[in-house]
Amino acid sequence: MTQIADPGAFQDLFKSAQSGFDAFSVKVGDAEVKLDPAVASQLQGDYLKQFTSLWQELASDKAPALADNRFAAPEWQGNKLHAFTAAAYLLNASFLQSMADAVQAPPKVKQRIQFAVQQTIDAMSPANFFATNPEAHKKIIDTKGESLTKGISHLLADMRKGRISQSDESAFEVGRNLAMTEGAVVFENELFQLLQYRPQTATVFQKPLLLVPPCINKYYILDLQPQNSVVRHLVEQGHTVFLISWRNPDASMAQTTWDDYVDQGVIEAIHTVQEISGQKQINAFGFCVGGTLVSSALAVMAARGEKPIASLTLLTALLDFSDTGVLDVFIDEGHVRMREQTLGRGGLMKGSDMASAFSILRPNDLIWNYVKANYLKGEAPAPFDLLYWNADSTNMAGPMYAWYLRNMYLENKMKEPGSLSICGTQVDLGAIDAPTFIYGSRDDHIVPWTSAFASTRLLNPKKPERNRFVLGASGHIAGVINPPEKKKRNYWVSDTVATDADAWLASATEKPGSWWGEWADFLAEHAGKKVKAPAQYGSDAYPAIEPAPGRYVKAKA
């Protein structure tokens, strides 16, 4: 149990520290970090008042209220000492957050201080430790020690795997109950396999749709299970769907560059779909990094005089990297230079490292929640297809990754016409000549919705009315994977042509349910007339190689 100290001792501590706060100023690199002594004194005073009030509640046998889901269980709420432990933690956490918010520093330095403080706060929750977690105590008594045995077993198993289990991984298998939509591989090279899916309707739209998923994840986030599959929904809508299944990089791909992904990847896929379908123009789609890749490819093709698409869809994708959300804490000149030195000339960025980085962006949801359940309480994680996919990580080719960090995240060259060379060509996103559907998720911590909206200023700059922006609820993944049948969440639309995200939102109308219907209308408008569905996969020149989901998606990092 956490020791309960005399509040008078806290006052003495703050008084002795006051002189230190008066002179608080340190150097972080070239940046000066300061804390106004008047603000520090005010925060200290507020803390002391709140702690004294909390102490008085404890002395009067009144358990403090706990407005935090981590402490919602009766074992916390019903015992005044456990409730006090949690309440004291929350008070300390609030004080530390306020101190971090009060720091005077350049924006990026301040963001990193806030991030580091929040990581420490989340890690030090009494819910994360067996000695201070009453739920774990009750569980061990109720199970006669079995929960402790299981918790240790889960911990040892995860240590062997090198990661925390978030889902019952035995419940899923790619090709058996994930990535189930019927199709075939119709082309492959060293970078990707091209999947074509069997039509689900007697007639299909004339112009096929090519899906470009991110190369930092497995594609089947777009084809989880039938009830939440983007791919299945599209073929049921009458689209002939092609999809890039990126290869999970191994040592043979250690020299692969961004240019390779664009030219031998996306552009090769576009040409192949054109040849198979016999259509000069197709519809293109990019999700997350896939959106950056397909936009890069289309800008290169525009510079080469090609106009291969009738429409473009971008989901939670970055083209303007001015605001990269919480990921910005990882990116600076020193970090990028280190990656260039270690990976820029060859090598692999391990999938496990990337997965760990994304997990610490939401530590309570993706780390500490499972520490408490799996290890302290001995509970096995439940089957969850999305979290199984999240753990099925992919490597990244080092040169591609290092180039992407510098030119996109750090220097943000892509938004400036002619400032970035891809495949030996100066690119201009404004040269991509196609109506565009752009989607952002309101609670996205990886691609802030305002950054997704910023693409409307880069695409079709002379005809901004050709861009349609839709804002959905929830986050980076859950906001996208939102089938209409579930009637979940909401979204916002507006016919106003605005260059400012806040102005657009002020003009938008909120609607219930999934945004997929808005997207379906957009695709139907640009997919051409209905024709008889193809009777076979591929063509004479591109026969089926193997059934979907293919070999590449099954390779482990």
- Rounded Cα distance between 414 and 299, Å, is 10
The total of other beta-carbon atoms located within 10 Å of residue 390's CB is 19
Q: Which residue type, as a one-letter code, is found at position 420?
A: L
- C-alpha dihedral sign at 457, 458, 464, 466: negative
The total of other beta-carbon atoms located within 10 Å of residue 180's CB is 19
- Rounded Cα distance between 40 and 58, Å, is 27
- CA-CA distances (angstroms) from residue 436 to 244, 309, 439? 20, 10, 10
Number of H helices and number of E strands within the chain?
A: 20, 19
Structure token digits, residue 387: 């979290």
Please say if 215 is a catalytic residue: no
Query: Helix or strand or coil: residue 28?
Result: strand
Per the CB < 8 A criterion, the answer to whether 299 and 431 are in contact is: yes
- Rounded Cα distance between 358 and 222, Å, is 19
Per the CB < 8 A criterion, the answer to whether 484 and 516 are in contact is: yes
- Rounded Cα distance between 385 and 177, Å, is 9
The total of other beta-carbon atoms located within 10 Å of residue 421's CB is 13
- Rounded Cα distance between 371 and 366, Å, is 9
Options 43, 288, 309, 508, the catalytic residue: 288
**Mind telling me the catalytic residues?**
288
